[in-house]
Structure 1
């Protein structure tokens, strides 16, 4: 136990150093923490009593990282109004469909071009199609873009993307692991997931007055204990229903965004969001062994390039369909470009089913590239837009076209 505490303490010291360096350089903390995690881990040396392999403490660090994802998504949910999301329902469906379709088709084409077997191609198409909710949430918060007009559509696309992920994982699990292609079983699982999400929207819209009274707790200590207990329970229960635990946290955040307690919760959650969120990105880096990356470097680079093209295209189409300016539309594609935890989940399904071992280094390098480039490009979105505007000659003037509101 003493060794484990020392290991976790060492990890936190490294995270603190990385955070300070990133802040001094005015750079996104995400790539720093991922690379820092890669530099240590199982392949790192032991220095006296300091164990940089983190083998014994790996499970606890990974668990703390999972908590970080929950806080990131819960906070993101608090920043939005369910009412606005519902009013923008048509834009979300159109934008999400465009986003998933473009990336999935590009993934299928890419898998075929590089000569992958059919099942491996499906896995590649799936992992190319799902953005990292955790990284997107962190970027939006870090860059203070949660109130931007395009961010509602970004959140909607993330939710739509999770529905696609639920359908994809359910279908591929039946084919690869269960050997079953029962249409009834697949449809039932998907309907349960969608129904669960809709339940939270209904609670948010109709249950705010009741929640306002239930959570009228004077003591901050008791208040935060109750909120956190509910957060962890909902996240765990969501996973039992095959809805990602992170999305369960996001949905709970959306519910509380409609109550009078929203500002109070935000203020209390922020320190936990930042602390555990940093651990998540470090723990993700720990899972990557740099020595395995060389075998898939060109394969991953090619996939990253088509993802960048596909995301910018999908963002422009989705944004323009929603009545947003070219600049806001480009922000959409850049913000949701990062890949992370969900891509790894898709790849792990193929690896568990005994598909090509190249999937492991390919996914690790692909995710790392976009986990670094995604936040970078988002941070420099103004420069990226100017470059694109020189090529496509869009208007330099801000557009005054209003966002289309549909029920």
Structure 2
């Protein structure tokens, strides 16, 4: 037991060092932690008392990673709001719809191109369709673009994408985890998943007064115990209905998003989200055999190229439809292509459902490259636009809005 705790402590120190390095380089910690996990694990050497294989502690690290997923999705649910989407207007609905449909349809075609079975194709399409909210938000803040004319549309499209993710995971949970063997049983599993999701939507809209009373707890200690206990209970209960535990966490966050305590909960959750979320990315890398990455190399590179082109086109369409300049529209396309936590969650759902093993190395390569390339393309969007403008000769409308970088 003592050695196992030492192994966990060693893993946490490695995560801390990788996070500090990422912070020094002002870059997303996601690729650093995935690569770190891949470099240690089953193929790592033992140096003195330090065993970087993490054999004894692997199950604990994996469990802590699962907690990280719950906090990531719970926080996403807190940020999510149907009311926000309705108030944002038709431009966001149009942009989000174009973005999701373009990525998902091309993802389906790409999966079939490689001869994958239907469920694997759907998971691939889902992976290609979800941006990283964390990376996109961080890049906008780091590059000081929160006041740009296109930023509201970017955040709205990300919100729309999050809604798609919730529906997609609910449906795929019913298909993959429901254990259905016939068309009728499959439809029943999917219906249960969607019904479960709609129940939480209803609670979020109609049950807010009751939730406000229940959570009217002055003691921060008792408040956090009540919220977190409920989070883990609902996530676990969701699994008994064959709905992914992550979706249970997201839906619980959604139910609390409209309460008067949502900001208080967000403030309490953020440190846990960041800490356990970091362990999640590390544990994901820990489960990957670097020697197996070559099997998915060409498939991942093709998907990356497809994502870059598809996201840029979607951004241009969304921006121009909203009356933004070509430059602002290009910024949209170059900002929303980062992939991270949610792509891995979609991949893990497929893996949990017993789908093709290639999903793991494919998702690792796909996320690694786009978690690095996405922010770089956003940072250099000004220069990229100048090059593209010479080719396409876009004419800039004269509008008096702020359009940095």
Q: State the distance in 2 between where 1:243 and 1:90 align.
A: 31
For residues 298-352 of structure 1, give each alpha carbon's deviation from its aligned partner in whole angstroms, at most 9, with x where no partner exists: 22211211122223333444555567776368536743541532342365268x3
Give the match for residue 345 of structure 1. 348
- Answer yes or no: is the 8 Å Cα contact 2:91–2:318 preserved in 1: yes
* 1:155 equivalenced with 2:159 (yes/no): yes
Deviation at 1:287, TM superposition (A): 1.7
Q: State the distance in 1 between where 2:9 and 2:129 align.
A: 27
2:127 aligned to 130, 150, 153, which one?
A: 130
Deviation at 1:33, TM superposition (A): 1.2
- Answer yes or no: is the 8 Å Cα contact 1:128–1:307 preserved in 2: no
Give the match for residue 10 of structure 1. 10
Give the 3 Å change call, closer, same or farther, for CA 221–379 of structure 1 in structure 2: farther
Q: State the distance in 1 between where 2:139 and 2:334 align.
A: 17
Deviation at 1:215, TM superposition (A): 1.2
- Answer yes or no: is the 8 Å Cα contact 1:131–1:337 preserved in 2: no
Q: State the distance in 2 between where 1:132 and 1:284 align.
A: 20
Give the match for residue 332 of structure 2. 331
TM-score (norm 1): 0.81
Deviation at 1:134, TM superposition (A): 9.2
Deviation at 1:360, TM superposition (A): 4.8
Bigger mean CA deviation after superposition, 380-389 or 67-76: 380-389
Give the 3 Å change call, closer, same or farther, for CA 297–2 of structure 1 in structure 2: same
Q: State the distance in 2 between where 1:376 and 1:191 align.
A: 41
For residues 32-65 of structure 1, give each alpha carbon's deviation from its aligned partner in whole angstroms, at most 9, with x where no partner exists: 1111111111100111221101122112112111
Give the match for residue 307 of structure 1. 307
Measured on the aligned residues, the alpha-carbon RMSD in Å equals 3.5
Q: State the distance in 1 between where 2:185 and 2:330 align.
A: 38
- Answer yes or no: is the 8 Å Cα contact 1:96–1:160 preserved in 2: no
Deviation at 1:27, TM superposition (A): 1.6
Q: Number of residues paired by the alignment?
A: 390
Give the match for residue 37 of structure 1. 37
Bigger mean CA deviation after superposition, 237-246 or 32-41: 237-246
TM-score (norm 2): 0.81
User: Structure 2 matches for 1:86-125, cutoff 5 A?
Assistant: 86-87=86-87, 97-111=97-111, 113=113, 116-117=114-115, 119=117, 123-124=120-121
Give the match for residue 260 of structure 1. 260
- Answer yes or no: is the 8 Å Cα contact 2:131–2:338 preserved in 1: no
Aligned-partner SS, 1:163: helix
Unaligned runs of 5+ in 1: 401-407
